[in-house]
A and B are shown apart, each in its own frame.
With several copies, the nearest count.
Chain A
Amino acid sequence: MIDLTVDIGRLRLKNPVLTASGTCGYGREYAHILDLNQLGGIMVKGTSLVPWAGNPAPRVVETPAGMLNAIGLQNPGLDYFLHTELPWLRQFDTAVVVNIAAHQIEEYAELARRLDNAAGVAALEVNISCPNVRQGGLSFGSDPLTAHRVTAAVRQATSLPVIVKLTPNVTDIAALARAVAEAGADAVSLINTLLGMVIDVRARRPALGNIVGGLSGPAIRPVAVRMVWEVAGAVSIPVIGMGGITCAEDALQFLMAGASAVAIGTATFANPRAPFEVMKGMAAFLQEEGFTAVSDIIGLARRGIA
């Protein structure tokens, strides 16, 4: 038996495979086909204080080995989550990580406060890729100072483990990671989507209703692995890696780069059992290669390098 448990700060996961925020809803859609009890955790859809309507259609478009989405963080709001989704999620023996989204620092703090005592919440994931209304729509995550402030505000408002989710659309993601680590984050998760766009040349306009969207899927995996590598070398808090993982081998790249856990996003759309298969394949790899615990391979590719 391989020991698959990993620790994300104070949070122990039964295995290092989670579902990525926004790609598995609140778990319901796939629950009959993907046993959530088998997963390390589920990172739920980004949730805001009040319901958000989201962006106009089209919201998704396929790209080579990837997709763009511009959902616009449509979600039913915190109250709905607390009263309808969270009670349902409690039936599962898996870590429920609540991804929180906001347009102002005080909203992040308020979300954290209200989730603090909610039974069944294992940790918060703070999506700092959201546009900051006070800074003209610039993402909170694109500036270390702002990222620090958001993290500190959330940190103060909750005793739950705080995972800060970093955006890849920055010059120096390691600096961002250091800033949020200093502000008290228990872990970082990365990467969120890369900003991209597609133009429909027959229609002569952007293919997405929102013009730009977030690129995810296998196409971005090399960027994600590189950023996990950089961040794992820059901070001592645990890293949750994601971006284009489709199979165990992909996930192992992130672990060997220094991630303590991984999340599966876009791949689930094509293969609803992908998170489960990644977990199984990871165990099989470890067995084959003679490891006894998944923790033995975290950062393995860094040996003798960084």
Chain B
Amino acid sequence: MTWQQCQAVISRRSELPHGHILLGLKAPPVAARARPGQFLHVRCGGDGWPLLRRPFSLAGILPAEGEVELLVRRVGKGTAWLASQPVGQVLDVLGPLGNGFPRPWQKQKQGDLLGVAGGVGVAPLVPALLEAARTGWDVGLLLGAQDAPGLLLVERLRASGIDVSTCTEDGSYGRQGLVTELLAERLPGASLVFACGPPGMLRVVREMTTAVECYFSLEERMACGVGACLGCACQSGDGYHLVCRDGPVFSAREVQL
């Protein structure tokens, strides 16, 4: 039921544009129980440096293979270390952590799920979109990025029958503009929206989705990742929620951004 501390072996790695990297991790206990929207808390570096673990969303859940995937964006020392590890490297991970997305497709035969993501924010949506699509839901993804190479995992999602619309800020691929502009057009058909991206984007998504159920995957600085330190607070109507334990997925209406 709960999380484990386990050793995950890097089974494959591929370099994606703009310093992103996709890691396959052999971690059967995690893969067996992970739900879309959950995350791993990964020890990056050796011998106590950096001090704290780093949280990464599960960008792929493959229970049959005993594998999960992480999509990592290099932004600092922890991610630089992680992204440079070779296949075969053993990682110390805690997981699966967090609540995960709601999965109405397990009960309802039909529905229209729309994902909205900016950049690496696509990571937590991937397993949710794939699962919903597999159960027969209509699934779309609106993906925005700075430029064409920043549109990650698009081919993979399209290959799984997901209707991906893209836009780039520089117009180098898809429409030029922000992903929220696409949302204005595509929202009417959707019964459920999942979004992940910068707070500015999420605020606009929230304003636009007052009439439809909408969930966000949030990020906050974490220490423990398991609800023990109370470090990852995010403000809600009534006090603070913990992103690591009560989230990272929250109803768009319950959190302040």
Instruction: Select one of B51, B53, B228, B245 contacting A30, CB under 8 A.
Output: B228
Beyond A53-B240, A57-B232, 15 additional contacts (C-beta under 8 Å) are A33-B5, A55-B233, A57-B221, A59-B230, A59-B231, A60-B222, A62-B50, A62-B221, A66-B51, A71-B231, A74-B240, A266-B223, A268-B228, A269-B52, A270-B52
Q: Which residues of A contact B50 (CB under 8 A)?
A: 62
**Please, how many angstroms separate the alpha-carbon atoms of A272 and B50 in the complex?**
16
> Chain A residue with minimal CB distance to B53?
A270
Q: A64-B48, A65-B49, A65-B51 are in contact. Are A29 and B231 (CB under 8 A)?
A: no
CB pair A74 B2 closer than 8 Å: no
Q: Which residues of B contact A (CB under 8 A)?
A: 2, 4-5, 43, 48-53, 94, 220-235, 239-240, 245
Q: Can you report 30 A-B residue pairs in the complex whose CB atoms are below 8 A from each other? A: A22-B229, A23-B224, A23-B229, A25-B228, A29-B224, A29-B226, A29-B245, A30-B226, A54-B230, A56-B235, A57-B235, A57-B240, A58-B221, A59-B230, A60-B231, A65-B48, A67-B52, A69-B229, A69-B231, A71-B231, A74-B240, A217-B51, A218-B51, A246-B48, A268-B224, A269-B52, A269-B228, A270-B43, A272-B5, A272-B226
0/1 string, A206-230, CB within 8 A of B gives 1: 0000000000011000000000000
Q: Which residues of A contact B (CB under 8 A)?
A: 22-25, 29-30, 32-33, 45, 53-62, 64-67, 69, 71, 74, 217-218, 246, 266, 268-270, 272-273
CB pair B224 A269 closer than 8 Å: yes
> Chain A residue with minimal CB distance to B1?
A32
Q: Which residues of A contact B43 (CB under 8 A)?
A: 270
CB pair B48 A59 closer than 8 Å: no
Among B49, B220, B225, B229, the most chain A Cβ lie within 10 Å of the Cβ of B229
CB pair A57 B227 closer than 8 Å: no
Considering the complex of A and B, which 3 residue pairs feature the smallest CB-CB distances, nearest first?
A60-B231, A29-B228, A25-B228
CB pair A269 B5 closer than 8 Å: no
**Please, how many angstroms separate the alpha-carbon atoms of A57 and B48 in the complex?**
25
Q: Which residues of A contact B224 (CB under 8 A)?
A: 23, 29, 268-269
CB pair A67 B233 closer than 8 Å: no
Q: A25-B227, A60-B223, A272-B94 are in contact. Are A67 and B5 (CB under 8 A)?
A: no
> Chain B residue with minimal CB distance to A207?
B221
CB pair B229 A60 closer than 8 Å: yes
Q: Which residues of B contact A33 (CB under 8 A)?
A: 4-5
Q: Which residues of A contact B225 (CB under 8 A)?
A: 269
**Please, how many angstroms separate the alpha-carbon atoms of A55 and B240 in the complex?**
9
